[in-house]
A and B are shown apart, each in its own frame.
Chain A
């Protein structure tokens, strides 16, 4: 793996590879373990790692490794999906705000300010209290929560770019708005926007973990990294991997993706 990373020439490729690695783990990871993540065995709770239980067992004596792979699946897929929604909606509105009509900027700008002023955890609690928790509800909620931030970033970037002379010239030539947005504006804001995606992804992983920790995120029998931490809090006293490993994975996932995306910016 490291040898392969070394062979990749650009930092850009490494970022793509890291994302592919996590998606791969999310989609196929659960196949890597023969244990049933939900089965409560005869094992003692919070047991140490062994051949049958690679990372030991959790507070109900379930296999931690199998549950971890399942948890990664939920966390990664939910957060990728919500980041994708947040950033596409945000970027689209941000560019539209500066290219279409002044009133659109006024309306979307105030809306975004309104959303930004609500604490994200509170907003998520509210939505879930009304609509109940489900995977789709969580994805859409987190998408809505982080879209205003992406909107502000992309609007600020696009505002600077639309004033540049090459956009003026394209306008004077009579190019369509779609061409100006796709060909003249977007490529020149890709670098900072990618870094922003990394940031939004971290936020959504942390928010999802928080929600699950509070018990209103991913619901049993499904599991995600945040809910694993909550379930196995008692294990902290025993230094159990059931508690420590999910925490470590959250850290590695968020920091890794952010570093990779951050270093790939500026490279088209």
Chain B
């Protein structure tokens, strides 16, 4: 793998918290990797767990799901449902021996620009250490 390998991390970010957090990171001039490909969603619970799977199977090196902290959901309980669904996806990945570390759920509030940058950096480093998603090369999917 060449040294300039930049992974692709599909990131579903809740409009009210995590996406705004990412914005704050930007306006605060905090650096975070270009690997992060943000997709704005109205709520983290809008993300059908199959979206995560699809992003993974279509070759994303990592999938990040960002939502509001428990109790802060704009729709009151969306993120609690997200957490349960994510637990299912993660368990299915683990049971099949898929690389479950490539998917991650983080609570990032609108005011947590630095946290967003930290999560983005950390996760990107983890993914770079893991290397490319082997699924990318599979043709029998």
A is bound by B: no
Interface residues of B (CB under 8 A from A): none
Please report A residues at the B interface, Cβ cutoff 8 Å.
none
